[in-house]
Amino acid sequence: MLDLLDIKYRHLSEMKSTELFGLRKRVFKDRLNWMVNSQDEMEFDEYDNEQTTYVFGVHQDTCVCSLRFIETQHPNMITGTFRTWFKDFTLPEGNYVEASRLFIDKERMTMLKLREKPVSALLFLSMINYARHYKYDGIYAIVSHPMYLIFKRSGWKVSVEAQSLSEKKEKIFLIFMPVDDDNQRILIDLVKSKAPELTMALDAWPLSFPVSQHRPD
């Protein structure tokens, strides 16, 4: 099974936090060369704190994907790190979460024979299911242009709220990600299109996917 579940920062064990922050360093610092803080082969920042919840995708007790959620009433990357890039945008009042540090580890996907599974679609669906389970009104995120295109190709009806350029002079987008019935159904249909024999419901949280029961992606 590929299990997608949430863990609050305060409930992270030392072993799990070392695994998560180590994977983030490998993805965001080593592979993508982002301007992120790293120490002792781990990447973490001031937003990894008591207000943070992490979504993990776990197969055979190994993390293969993750992202970070912070309620927008608390300090987050949109109101902090990226404030100068989006000076004219103000987060609306409401029950929203900000998503950041989203990744899928390609090496572990290969090692665990998951490269042909719809992991990205499941991770996107998990974002919607998580938000709906905890009664959030939607998700905000800042993403690169390639990441924005991946979201769009999934069918998720994300909208661009603002646009800017990163320190590398590359396009970055502040997007809103709706979590209504229609968008949940779009992502469920995407997963099922890649696993037509699947009969289980996919609208629950936490979310589990039987990796042995579906055809190549």
pTM attached to this predicted model: 0.92
Q: Is residue 140 part of a domain?
A: yes
Q: Work out the widest C-alpha separation in the chain, in whole angstroms.
A: 48
| CATH classification at residue 190 | 3.40.630.30
Strands 62-71 and 96-104: antiparallel
Q: Is residue 211 part of a domain?
A: no
The structure tokens 């993750």 sit at: 66
Q: Is residue 93 part of a domain?
A: yes
- Calculate mean pLDDT across residues 38-59: 91
Alpha helices, DSSP H only, in the chain?
14-24, 106-111, 119-133, 145-153, 181-194
Residues 140-184 have pLDDT tens digits of 999 999 999 999 999 999 999 999 998 888 899 999 999 999 999
Q: How many domains does the chain have?
A: 1
Domain of residue 131 covers 2-198
Residues 190-216 have pLDDT tens digits of 999 988 888 888 999 999 999 874 444
Q: Is residue 206 part of a domain?
A: no
Q: Is residue 209 part of a domain?
A: no
Alpha carbons within 13 A on the beta-carbon side of 207: 26
Percent of the chain with pLDDT over 70: 97
The structure tokens 């995120």 sit at: 141
Q: Locate 202 and state its tokens.
A: 């996919």
Q: Is residue 210 part of a domain?
A: no
Q: How confident is the model at residue 92, as a pLDDT?
A: 95
The structure tokens 């992502």 sit at: 187
Q: Rounded to whole angstroms, how far apart are CA atoms 21 and 24?
A: 5
- Residue 66 phi/psi, 5° resolution? -165, 165
Q: Is residue 204 part of a domain?
A: no
Q: Is residue 205 part of a domain?
A: no
* Cα three-residue angle 136-128-109, rounded to 5 degrees: 140
